[in-house]
Amino acid sequence: MAQAPLQSNHDAQETVRQRAIDLFIAGKKPSQIGRAVGRSRAWFYQTLQRYRNGGRAGLASRSRAPQRVHNRTAEAVEAAVVRVRQTILSGEEADLRYASIGANTIASELKRADIAPPSRRTIQRILQRHQLVEPRAPAQAQASIPEDYPWPCVKQANELHLFDFVTRTISGGGRFYSCHLMDQWRRWPVLRLIITKNAASVLAFLVEAWQEIGWPAALYLDNDIVWRGSGSAPRTFSRIVRLALALGIEPIFTPPYTPKANPLIESFNALWSANFWSRRCFQSVSEVQQELPHFEHVARYRHPWPELGLRTADQFAPDFIPVCLPSNFTQHRAKSLPLTAGCLHFIRFVDLTGSFSILNEPWQLEAEPWAGKTIRATVHLAQQQLLVFHQAQRLAIPTQIAQFDYPLDEELCPLQDCYHRPRPAFWPTGS
């Protein structure tokens, strides 16, 4: 049953409770407090619980008036909504310091406290009533992704990892890159800072992440030169691509300059910026490094995802046990890595002449009908072939529209047996 509303008058019983809390704050023991105010230890612990739940306001005496009002949220629930919002913004609780402040998170935290949450609209009205709603920046128009964009499909955890980074500069000096990796299926993130954006740093991050959460079947990323390869030489494979292939991972490159082609990781980057970077004024890179695990914890355990039915990442797949890289894995530290047989995928927009480019090399399709279309170009290293596919709609079966020879000037290594595993179908097959 909901608690009765709080009285505004400061009566004798409230005075006793306030005195008991004053003594508690002063460091007195429960037995001493009980003797001082003429109450039992059990009474003191009940009073202490009221104080912890509601602060000083929670010590006020409660009315004997009817406890329910039709169609009105219980005041105890309303107080809990306000308390969750204020707790997040205060930053005092590490587990919530960088949580979202919206209705979904508040409802999730109420459930965690065994309080039945009101509707999201009611939570929003409560926040408005207490002047706790922050104005939102107007949404900016975003370029739409074409209907024939071949989005990779995932059906299990660790089939596809999304990768990106954000760059920030500390006021007064200090630049860093926040690397973000996420398992698309269960929204499980890994975050680390690097000071220098080079292959060695990124490889160390990826290996550390895959030692913790397991390595994927495919890695979805943009065309940054560090992980794509040379900025001018054709058919040059970066150390990051080589390591991925050596682990049986298929890199999937989004079209250049198209962040919306990786919407989930871009949304996560925005969450990082709003809830972590903008919530406090960091004084040094080491301070960011120290606080980042708190945001990572929130993103894994306290952030409800609408796409997961408002479950958190740990609630969505609680029984998943990843297969991780061994802790003594060191292959990524070698100065040079061999090229392992496997596949790379490049999603590209065909220009008006029918041309597209991968790894600094142009390829030509017939302008009619492929100009302006979106294609997937798959390099089969073992076959030394470049296959081009078009997928008319998201769930349509891709059609192979072209095939080119793709000779290599170096020998390929076979995939080691320890990294063999069934290959998921990232695009519809019709079977």
Per-residue confidence at 142, pLDDT binned at 50, 70, 90?
low
d(CA 355, CA 348) in angstroms, rounded, equals 10
pLDDT for residue 141: 62
CATH class of 1-72: mainly alpha
Does 307 score more than 70 pLDDT? yes
pLDDT for residue 64: 55
Supply the mean pLDDT for the chain.
91
d(CA 205, CA 202) in angstroms, rounded, equals 5
**Least confident range of 25-29, 279-283, 349-353:** 25-29
Q: When comparing pLDDT for 337 and 134, which is higher?
A: 337
pLDDT for residue 431: 64
Q: Which structure tokens are listed for 63?
A: 């009315």
Does 139 score more than 90 pLDDT? no
Length of the chain: 431
Does 66 score more than 60 pLDDT? no
Average pLDDT over every residue of 130-154: 83
Residue-wise pLDDT for 88-116, tens only, equals 999 888 889 999 999 999 999 999 999 99
Q: Could you state, in order of their start, the residue ranges of all structural domains in the chain?
A: 1-72, 75-129, 143-431
Q: When comparing pLDDT for 414 and 25, which is higher?
A: 414
Average pLDDT over every residue of 202-212: 98
Does 3 score more than 80 pLDDT? no
Residue-wise pLDDT for 371-393, tens only, equals 999 999 999 999 999 999 999 99
Superfamily of domain 143-431: Ribonuclease H-like superfamily/Ribonuclease H (3.30.420.10)
pLDDT for residue 88: 93
pLDDT for residue 61: 80
Does 7 score more than 80 pLDDT? no
Residue-wise pLDDT for 71-83, tens only, equals 556 889 999 999 9
Most trustworthy range by pLDDT among 18-32, 40-54, 235-249: 235-249
Average pLDDT over every residue of 193-207: 97
pLDDT for residue 5: 39
The percent of residues in the chain predicted with pLDDT above 90, rounded, is: 74
Phi and psi of 115, rounded to 5°? -115, 125
